[in-house]
Amino acid sequence: MFDKEKIDLELLKYAINEILSSLLKSGKRFIPLEHDYYWEINENELYKPEQDVKEITLGQLHDDWDFVNALIQDMKNDISDNSVRCPIMLMHVWPLLRYIYHKEVLRLDKA
């Protein structure tokens, strides 16, 4: 049963897999990284829209992809225990997913 007060990770995983599968089925295996830097709002301010943002920093897509790729290689080679490292990688996966959304769904820069 759906509970909007809790995120069901199994359902979220299913949704993400389906979304990525649909992109793959449409022939989109590789998404060119045509941009590198993006704006990032401090996590302490991100979920407080009633307050003005005081700190905006830069993130870097190429760095995010490097971190995710390093994790993938370690997992393939069974190099380290990833039980702690995997959840932290969400901070690098999210900007990549957001970029794919902007490039492939909103089609930014394709006007």
Per-residue pLDDT at 78 exceeds 90: no
**How many residues are given for the chain?**
111
Cross-strand bridge partners of residue 39? 58
Sequence spans of domains, the chain? 31-105
Which pair of structure tokens corresponds to residue 34? Answer: 């045509």
Residue 106: predicted pLDDT: 84
Which pair of structure tokens corresponds to residue 3? Answer: 């509970």
- Tens-digit pLDDT profile for residues 80-95: 666 667 888 999 999 9
Rounded Cα distance between 98 and 68, Å, is 15
Query: Whole-prediction pTM value?
Result: 0.84
Task: Please choose, from the candidates 62, 65, 63, 46, the residue with its C-alpha nearest in 3D space to the C-alpha of residue 54.
Answer: 46
Report whether 12 contacts 2 (CB < 8 A).
no
Element (H or E) spanning 57, and its range?
strand 56-60
Residue 82: predicted pLDDT: 67
Residue 57: predicted pLDDT: 95
Q: By percentage, how much of the chain surpasses pLDDT 70? A: 92
* Mean pLDDT score across all residues of the chain: 90
